[in-house]
Structures are given as structure tokens and as C-alpha cells.
Structure 1
Amino acid sequence: MLENAPSSLNLTNQAALLFMFGGAFFGIGEVFMDNTFWQRAYAIRQEDVLKMFMLSGIGWALVPLAVASLAFVALAFGREPEQINQVAPLVAQVYGGQFAGWLFLVAVWSALASTTAASINALATLLMHDLLPRVKEGVTDDESLQYGKYLTVVVGVLGLLLSLPRILTMLQMLIFLGVINAAFIFPIVLGLWSEKTNPTGAFVAALVAIVGGYAVYFTVGNLQGIIASGWLSFLITAGSTVVWPSEFDWRKLQRAGRSAPEGGE
């Protein structure tokens, strides 16, 4: 490591520190913004939600540690892949041969297929429950299920067509969307834990953070854009809550999920 990549052993490496904070922003924001996490939360029994998510978090924490270890091995051997996504399969192939490389490819493909299926299902379910009742009234459960199947196919085909040009790598896509994800972290967190959070301030914070974050993203740097988005979101949300605190009205939340008002009100 000292011979091939001495900068990777420097704990004050600016690029590493920037990725650490930027990665935390878009990683946490990804959990909040990804429908698959919320879908699983509703699918698990209420008494098991906390336990399952804690166990999943502990188990998932081992993944970046393992991949980071593989990256150190790749650097130590002076093997630099064409893309950062190829570090883990490269090391697997170096140590285990061609069979290990194929086996790792199958494991990654299985994980991607599972995630893609969950994302398609989540988006189709969202459209079926939120959009369909507004477009067509009086839809029965059987009709909703049938429309859900159609929407799943449509969303899958559209996703396939959008992915064919391969405009971005997976890492580039995560970082690009990280600006949006970071903008929603603090409005969601403060909205969940503080009943004084100003809803208008949270909405404005998200919009300003996205616009400001992408301005920094395209002028200064991508990770800097994520960090700027997170800070703008926090400052505006927290500042508006302190200056103009608001009382949360549970009745508004109750009415928000209704497709049509009851009793003509």
C-alpha cells in the first residue's frame, strides 16, 4: 500500500473525507426516498419492524467493510480496474480464478434482479393506489389487482428502455440522485421527530436545496453538490421551524389518504 497507493492510507485525504460525508448524505437519503424500504416496513408485522430493520442495518454494515477490504487488496496489488464498480469482481477473480469471477457475477446479478423487482413493484403499487383512484372512480379490488399487473409490465419496459443507453454508471447515478435524496433528509427527520416543524418551510427547503445542490454539482463538484443540498435543507427547515413553529394537525394527515371526502365535507 505504501508503494502503490500511499494517499489511500492518509486519514486526512480530502477526497476521502468528501466522499465520506457526501456518501452518508446520499446513502441515508436513499433509504428515505426509496419506496422499497417503506414497502417492507408496511409488509412486516408492526411488532417486528424495529427488530428487522436493526438486524438488516447491522448485516448491511458488513457489506461496505468487505468491499472496502477488497479495494485495499486491489490497490496493494496495483490492479486498477476500468470502473470503480469492478473492484470486487476483479479481486474475486484474482484470488479464486475464473470460476470465482463468474460466481461473483451471479451473486451481483441476483442482488440487482431482486432490487429491480422490488423497485418496479413499489412504483407500480404507488401508481395503483394513488393515481388509479383519481383517474377512475369505483375501482374494485380485482380491477386494482389487474391494473397493478399491467402497470408492473409498463414500468418494467420503460425502465429497460431508459437503461439501454447506459448514460451513467450505477455509482454516477447514485451520486447524481444524491442531491435530491440529501434535500429530503432533514424535512423528513424533523417532520417525524418534531411536531413544531413548519410544513411550508420544509417544502421550500427541499426545493431550494435541490436547485442549490445541482448548481454546486455542475459548477464545483458532484459530492460538493450533495453536501450543499443537505446543508441548505437543514438550515432552511430548522430555521423556519425556530422562527415560525407550527402545530401538527393529525386530521390533515387522516384526510390526505382519502380518495374522496366523506359526507360531502
Structure 2
Amino acid sequence: MSRASDFYTPIPWRGTGTDTVLPQGAGYGIVLGFGVFFSVFTSLLVYLDTKYGGTKMTSEQFNTAGRSVKTGLSASVIVSQWTWAATLLQSSNVAWQYGVSGPFWYAAGASIQVLLFGILAIEVKQKAPTAHTFLELVYARWGKTSHIVFMVYAFMCNMIVSAMLLLGGAAVVNALTGVDLNLASFLIPWGVIAYTLAGGLKATFLAPYFNTAIIFAVLIYFVFVVYASSPLLGDAGTVYDKLTTIVSYPRPTEDELAAGYHCGRVSGNRGGSYLTMLSTDGLVFGIINIVGNFGTVFMDQSYWQSAIAAKPSSSHKGYMLGGLVWFTIPFALATSLGLAANALGVQLTAAEAGAGLVPPAAAIVLVGRSGAILIVLQLFMAIVSTGSAECIAVSSIVVYDVYYTYINTKASGDQILRLSRYVILAFGLLMGVLAVILNQIGISLGWVYLFMGIVIGGGVVPTALCLTWSKTNGKAATASVVISSVLAIITWVSTASGTFGEVTVATLGANEPMLAGNLVALLSSAFITVAWSLVFPENYDFESMKRIPVVELDEYVPDAGETPEKLAEARQWIIKWGWTVSIILIIMWPLATVPWGVFPRSLFALWSSIAVVWGFLATVVIIALPIYEAKDDMLAVVYGLLGVQSPKVVTSRA
């Protein structure tokens, strides 16, 4: 049989020699220019809200946004927080590796955590209405030792997520513009630091709305290019034909892979095809994705902070809507650019794909330099929105769980506000240092993405049960987190050694060791916690969680919609729909594709149409709903700028 290299010459996408696709100045312009723009723009919005919207910047406002965020903005923030560099880059990498199963398992495997977290969001409103962090819940229930152990895992989670943001962002900026990799790692956080310092959590809610709007606008553009307008592709039929043709070649040799020839049969896929959900490696990735992402949602303070900031009537709906809207970002983007990279034979090595360069490479081949600019812009939007959430999350943990709990229990609101800003500055700088260290070691975005569940997966079940099961034993929960991490690391390393005969960064990053380590981390902690608690149950009444102090207030006044009946109704709703949608996504949908094996043309046309339609609907909803819900607040600002008293204020005074 002829080799792929005899007939299918890869399409280069980089500049020749030392040239890059974009000039170095463009890289600095995007990284620094947009950082300055969003800092000024967001600070202006916070100022207008403070001056004309009646908002006072206290420590509570800085860290909880007044606990009054509505459904649309909550969903928008959740989408922006969950849209990492990996969402845009790693999702297309797994499409490039495994075909259609990659984008699906990335999207479905990372949506269900947000959907199910909605249950915890409403539980917080019921049982701990004055909380600032999830670690305060651990301290209120289980005391100092458990609090410190869980705090260590929370910090590790924030550091891993921040590292992934900068690893992916710096790699793309370096590849496209030539900006030094380490320098890019340091410069990217500055825009994040500036506007988060100015406006706190409210700023990290306002800016991500605009970031999300830009991300979706670019997403829709590329989906349209691949499936409607590009002369190279332009419709689902052409994509299908090209993906069908390339599997007639044998699997590329090591030399061909090193030269960027990725076309050929896919090992482990039904018929060697990119057009099948029956993919062994795709399924393994899906399991790793599901397990690992439970850790980075349930153990990440930023998601708890969004739940705390939401209105009681909006928190569960915000997570449901956010999960459904977010699904389309990796699914639609990777089903377009990820598959396009294969269909067009874009010249990419495995190392480049692992660094997250599949989307920019495909975009450049499809539309030229403008494609590179749009990808960098989209990526920068994802980094600053998630980065700001991570900064404010770490700040909240330090000020409330370290400073206020152990150092100064009588701290004033001004002291907490001031320290919050110091921590944001310090952590923003630390993000860059961590990314540089990982770059020097040779750790890529894809490696860290698969690894994260091994480190923090053991905390998922104990954290969830702290708030939801009265019998959970505190000693069991705390011990299980540590024991499961040790077992997971031992399993991970031994599997790499047993499977490949050596332990290196490459063998540790393979699917088999990562799968084994991730599963052991999650399942062992669940078994230890539940079994121990059944034998030695607690009988906790959750009353101590309701006495978490609010610094500026003598007494917490519940929202009008925060009645026990309303919260109980909301809890039943999110339990019903969170589990239903999750089961549909990760069980019923993939099982429905099994009878077809390799997709026929008509099924792929339907598959790509779902990606297109879901993307358009999600774009409209996530842009329009927050504006509709905030119309009164925006009118108040407009009236204030015009020097006219708001009719809303006049009516209330009358």
C-alpha cells in the first residue's frame, strides 16, 4: 500500500525560516493592548455602577458581588470561567487525534460537572447563606485540621488551572508572533491583575461577559467558514469526503509523524476512521476528562464564589444554563477547526498539537493571517476571564480562610479589602513564575490537563458530602483526600513503568497511566469516605454553617426570594434536571451512535448541523439574556450620566 506521504503533502502554516505568521509587535499589542483596554473599560463600568447604581465597594461587595447576580450574568460568568485555554486548544487537539469522538467527549465530559455543581450552588444558599468560600464550610463542620488539608488542595487546584491558562496562551502567542515564551507567561497576567484589583468580583463578572461575547463571535465565524463559506471546505459533505479519503492510507510512520503527516488510519478507531464514536483512545480520554474536571470544578473556589454571588433564585438556573451554553464551545469549535486540520492535512507534529496549536494552524490555512489574529484574540479573552476568577478565588481563600480565621479574627472590612488586593497582585505574578517553571521542565498544556485529576480528584466526593450528607465523618473525609492522592500517584507512576518500561514525562503523559491515576484518585476517596462514614456516622445539623460571620454586617438579611420553600423547590428542580441532562450527554447520546459504527454521510451532516445550531443559539442567549436582565441598572447609569433622576428611584420614593 502507498504511504500517505506519497499522495498527501501536509499544508504548512508557519512562516518560513525565522519568520512568524504575525509580527512580534502584534503579539505585544494583543497581550498588553487588550490588557490595558479591558482594565480601563472594566474599571469604568465598576465606577459607573458605584456612582449611579448605588453600589458601595466594601470587602463583601469586592468578594461576593453583593450576592445579587442574576441568571444571565451568572451563566455568562460560569461559561467564561470554564473556558480555559485548554477549552479552545486541547479540544481541537483531541479532534485532531481521535476524530469526532474527541470534541464530544471534551464537551460532554466537562459540562456535567457544571450542571451537577448547580446542586451544590443551591445547597450553599440553603445551609450557608453568609459563606465566602467553600473552605469556610469545612471549618464550620470539621474544624482546623480538615480546614488546612482542604485548603492545600484548593490552592493546588487554583495553581494548576492558572498554569494551564498561561501554558496554552504563551505557546500560541510564541508560535504565531515570536514573543518569547517566558516573557509572554509574565505579560499575559498583567491585564488580569489590573481590572481585578480595581473592581473585585464584580469586575470579574462584568469583563467576562464581554470576553464571552467575543469568544462566541469568533466561534461562530470559524464554524461558518468550515461548514459554509471556505473554498477549501465549505460544507459538511466536503469535510466528510476528505476525512474518509485520508483513512485509506496506512497509519503514518514515526518519521512521517515527525514531519507533520498526521493523515492515515487512526489506531483504535472503528475502521481507522475519524468519523466514529467507537474510539478506544477517545473513550479513555473521555473518562479522564470526566474524572479530572470534577476536581477542577468542585475544588475550585471560583465556582463556589459564583454560586455565592448569585441571587438565590438564580444560582441553580445559572449553572444549568452555563453548562449547556459552554458545551458548544469545545464541541462546535473542535468539530470545525479540529476536524478541518485533518481534512486539509495541516502540517502539525504531535508536539505542536499537544502545545495547543491545532486551532491556529487550521485557522491560518483557512483564512490566512486574520485567522491567527482571531484565535489569539479568542484565546486572550479566555485567559483574562478565567485568570481574573482564579485571582479573586485565591484572594478570598487567603483573606477569609487564612487571615480572618487564624491571624486577625477582628479584622475590619477595610483591612480585608486591602489585603484582597495585595493577594491578587502577588498571585498574578506567581502565575507567570509557575508557567515559566513548567515550560523549562518541558510540560505541555495537554499533559497538565490530563494530570490535574490525579492531584485534586480525591477532594471531590468529600467536599460535596460536607455540604450534602449529615452523616459524613470528618476524619474519614480528611484522611481520604490524602490517602487517595498517594494511591493515585503510586498507580500513575507504576502504570507508566509497567506499560512502557520507563518513567518519563512522555510515558507519564500517556493515556493508560493518566486514566489509572485519575480513576484511583476519585474512586478511592469516595469509597473511604462513604464506608468509614457508614460505620462511624456523624449526625450534623448544619447549624454552624449558618453562623459564618459577615464582616461589615451585624446580621445577615436574607433576600426576599430566599424562603425555605423557594430554596427547596429550586433544589428539587436542579437535582432533577442536572442528573437528567448529564445522563443524556454522557450515556444516552454516545450509545445512540453505536449502531452506525462509522458515520454515514447523512449522520455526519446531522452531527455538524447540531454543532452549528447549538452554537448560534448559545451565542444569542448568552449575549442577550444578561442585557435584558440588567436593563434597569443600565438605565439608571444612563439617567445618571444625563443628570436626570431615574424614574425607578422617583417611583420608590413616592
Q: How would you bin the TM-score normalised by the shorter chain?
A: 0.7 to 0.9
Query: Residue 48 of structure 1 aligns with which residue?
Result: 314
Give 2:483's match in structure 1, choosing from 190, 208, 226.
208
Deviation at 1:242, TM superposition (A): 2.9
What is the TM-score with the length of structure 2 in the denominator? Answer: 0.37
Query: Residue 262 of structure 1 aligns with which residue?
Result: none
Is 1:95 matched with 2:366? yes
Query: Residue 327 of structure 2 aligns with which residue?
Result: 61
Give 1:164's match in structure 2, choosing from 436, 441, 445.
436
Give 1:83's match in structure 2, choosing from 353, 377, 397.
353
Q: How do 1:1-265 and structure 2 match up within 5 A?
A: 1=243, 2-3=247-248, 4-7=264-267, 9-10=269-270, 11-69=277-335, 70-79=337-346, 80-81=348-349, 82-84=352-354, 85-133=356-404, 134-165=406-437, 166=439, 167=441, 168-220=443-495, 221-254=513-546
Deviation at 1:172, TM superposition (A): 2.0
Which amino acid is 2:436 matched to?
A: L
> In 2, Cα distance between the equivalents of 1:208 and 1:257?
32
Which amino acid is 2:294 matched to?
A: I
Where does the alignment leave 5 or more consecutive residues of structure 1 unmatched?
260-265
> In 2, Cα distance between the equivalents of 1:114 and 1:8?
37
Q: Provide Cα deviations, 1:147-184, integer angstroms capped at 9, x if missing partner.
A: 22122111212222222232432332232221133212
> In 2, Cα distance between the equivalents of 1:205 and 1:97?
52
Structure 1 vs Structure 2 CA RMSD:
2.3
Q: Is the 8 A contact 1:18 1:224 kept in 2?
A: no
Decide which structure has the larger Cα Rg and report it.
Answer: 2
Where does the alignment leave 5 or more consecutive residues of structure 2 unmatched?
1-242, 249-263, 271-276, 496-512, 552-654
Which amino acid is 1:38 matched to?
A: W
> In 2, Cα distance between the equivalents of 1:136 and 1:242?
38
Which amino acid is 1:66 matched to?
A: A
Q: Is the 8 A contact 1:216 1:222 kept in 2?
A: no
Which amino acid is 1:231 matched to?
A: L
Which amino acid is 2:390 matched to?
A: S
Q: Provide Cα deviations, 1:23-55, integer angstroms capped at 9, x if missing partner.
A: 101112211111111111111111111111111
Deviation at 1:190, TM superposition (A): 3.4
Deviation at 1:105, TM superposition (A): 0.9
Q: How many residues align?
A: 259
Q: Is the 8 A contact 2:269 2:280 kept in 1?
A: no
> In 2, Cα distance between the equivalents of 1:76 and 1:8?
19
The structure whose RCO (Cα within 8 Å, separation 6+) is larger is 2
Deviation at 1:255, TM superposition (A): 6.2
Q: Is the 8 A contact 2:268 2:281 kept in 1?
A: no
Query: Residue 586 of structure 2 aligns with which residue?
Result: none
> In 2, Cα distance between the equivalents of 1:22 and 1:14?
13
Q: Is the 8 A contact 1:182 1:230 kept in 2?
A: yes
Q: Is the 8 A contact 1:179 1:229 kept in 2?
A: yes
> In 2, Cα distance between the equivalents of 1:254 and 1:90?
52
Relative distance call for 1:128 and 1:193 in structure 2 (3 A) is: closer
Which amino acid is 2:473 matched to?
A: N
Moved more, 115-124 or 135-144: 135-144
Moved more, 150-159 or 169-178: 169-178
The DSSP-based 3-state class of the residue aligned with 1:46 is coil
> In 2, Cα distance between the equivalents of 1:28 and 1:118?
18
Deviation at 1:196, TM superposition (A): 2.2
> In 2, Cα distance between the equivalents of 1:90 and 1:8?
25
Deviation at 1:254, TM superposition (A): 4.9
Q: Is the 8 A contact 1:5 1:76 kept in 2?
A: no
> In 1, Cα distance between the equivalents of 2:463 and 2:417?
30
What is the TM-score with the length of structure 1 in the denominator? Answer: 0.87
Which amino acid is 1:7 matched to?
A: S
